[in-house]
Chains A and B, each alone.
Chain A
Amino acid sequence: KAGVTQTPRYLIKTRGQQVTLSCSPISGHRSVSWYQQTPGQGLQFLFEYFSETQRNKGNFPGRFSGRQFSNSRSEMNVSTLELGDSALYLCASSRPGQGFTGELFFGEGSRLTVL
């Protein structure tokens, strides 16, 4: 069974540009979450989608946005990139049914470097 797939794995952008990251969840998983990991900050929640609807949103500026498609694939977009946006962006999916107890299946992440 394929895991969570994130593309691209690595990318370099310059300040002011925008970036789109893609995530394909495990087959059958309908919830997709995004987290940002920066050195010394742990993982910070960006947003979570289920059935194309955003259910939760973290404390990030409006430059960070996301969406989910009918096949559960998700994208996140960061506009007007800043140096501080350099981070590992992790996507995770969770099993359907019986409520969410916190068990997430993470992809390997997209490493964004902003110059």
Chain B
Amino acid sequence: DQQVKQNSPSLSVQEGRISILNCDYTNSMFDYFLWYKKYPAEGPTFLISISSIKDKNEDGRFTVFLNKSAKHLSLHIVPSQPGDSAVYFCAARGSGGSNYKLTFGKGTLLTVNP
């Protein structure tokens, strides 16, 4: 049972345009949501996070939106740059006894074309 889902395996965007990556979750006990970026042959790197008590968090070109009622979050990248081309993983932190583990989605490969 996949608790964090990224339904789009890939996304292609033109440089300068907005990239929108989506993520859905099923577990209402998740209390932190994060996005990680991964380049080939490297480990994932933390990008941005949002607490379940907020609905938006912004950091430069990256904004994460959380819709708790829909159990949906999205990552917006504006403007997109070729260096943003990578696999993006959505992740959620459990609460209580599971609050030291992250549950990841399967990832979305973003390609930003020059």
Chain A positions within 8 Å of B, measured between CB atoms, are 4, 31, 33, 35, 40-45, 48, 50, 55-56, 58, 90, 92, 100-109
Query: By the criterion of a CB under 8 Å from any partner CB, how many residues of chain B are at the interface?
Result: 29
Set of chain A residues within 8 Å of B104, measured between Cβ atoms: 35, 42-45
| Contact partner, A104, options B46, B97, B103, Cβ 8 Å | B46
* Contacts A103-B46, A103-B49 given; does A45 touch B103 at CB 8 Å: yes
Q: Is B56 an interface residue (CB 8 A)?
A: no
Contact pick for B102, options A4, A41, A104, CB 8 Å? A104
B101 partner residues in chain A, CB cutoff 8 A: 33, 45, 48, 56, 58
The answer to whether B72 has its CB under 8 Å from any CB of chain A is no
CA distance A44 to B2 in the complex (A): 11
Contacts of A33 in B (CB 8 A): 100-102
